[in-house]
Chains A and B, each alone.
Chain A
Amino acid sequence: EIVLTQSPATVSLSPGERVTLSCRASQSIGPYLAWYQHKPGQAPRLLIYDASNRAAGIPARFSGSGSGTDFTLTISSLEPEDFAVYYCQQRSDWPRLTFGGGTRVDIK
């Protein structure tokens, strides 16, 4: 099973700040990584697929990068609605899909 380790577990920031979240895979997964945003009581939302491609309707302030074992999600300038938990997910090892443990982005 491919383990995805996300860091940090929690980050506290103010609106307008830039944040970079990390997702590290236990083995190479190529570009086959997605990022989701999850707010309490809501459905998770796909942000980024295959490491660096924004899903339809996702604002340009969200960007993804990486390949192999190290990936990042960057939010260039935090909006109030961006405070949420972010998860990464790999599809390289189908049908053993796995998710990371999540990073919570809190308001400072």
Chain B
Amino acid sequence: QLQLQESGPGLVKPSETLSLSCTVSGDSLSSSRYSWGWIRQPPGKGLEWIGTIFYGGSIYYNPSLKSRATISVDTSKNQFALNLNSVTAADTAVYYCARQSEYSYAYFDPWGQGTLATVSS
């Protein structure tokens, strides 16, 4: 059964880089034909798609993040990562990693349980 687990520092200072990892079990990122994504949810707000990395290496980001996000894959650890630079309080959110669904690369299922990242000095 596929499982995803997010990890990372719970607290990041303003202007620094938020670095998160998603550990995948039940599938191998080195051979998977699926795409993998990051989604976040600020406190009290709705969900926001951050970006998706495809098995061929193509990566697509939400334009609203203005090139601050970078998604990468580490096949040796079976993880994919999100780096978000120049963070502000507006980046405080629960961050979810997810695999594309069986039906479309643009829907997500399953998801991890999420990790809270707080931006504060």
The residues of A with any CB-CB pair to B shorter than 8 Å are 1, 32, 34, 41-46, 49-50, 53, 55-56, 87, 89, 91, 94-102
User: For residue B101, which residue of chain A has the nearest CB?
Assistant: A46
Chain A residues contacting B108 (CB-CB under 8 Å) are: 44, 46
Across the interface, name the chain A residue whose C-beta is closest to B113: A43
Between-chain CB contacts (< 8 Å), 21 pairs:
A43-B110, A43-B112, A45-B110, A45-B111, A46-B101, A46-B107, A46-B109, A49-B104, A55-B109, A87-B47, A89-B107, A91-B106, A91-B107, A94-B60, A94-B106, A95-B61, A96-B63, A98-B49, A99-B47, A99-B49, A101-B46
Taken together as a complex, chains A and B put the C-alpha atoms of A2 and B92 apart, in Å, by 23
Shortest CB distance A33–B (Å): 10
- B47 and A56 contact, CB distance less than 8 A: no
B107 near A99 (CB under 8 angstroms)?
Answer: no
> Which residue of A1, A42, A55, A96 contacts B103 across the interface (Cβ within 8 Å)?
A55
Q: Beyond A49-B107, A91-B106, A96-B62, list 17 extra A-B contacts (CB 8 Å).
A: A41-B113, A43-B96, A43-B110, A44-B96, A46-B108, A46-B109, A49-B101, A49-B104, A55-B102, A89-B47, A89-B107, A91-B107, A94-B106, A95-B60, A95-B62, A96-B63, A99-B46
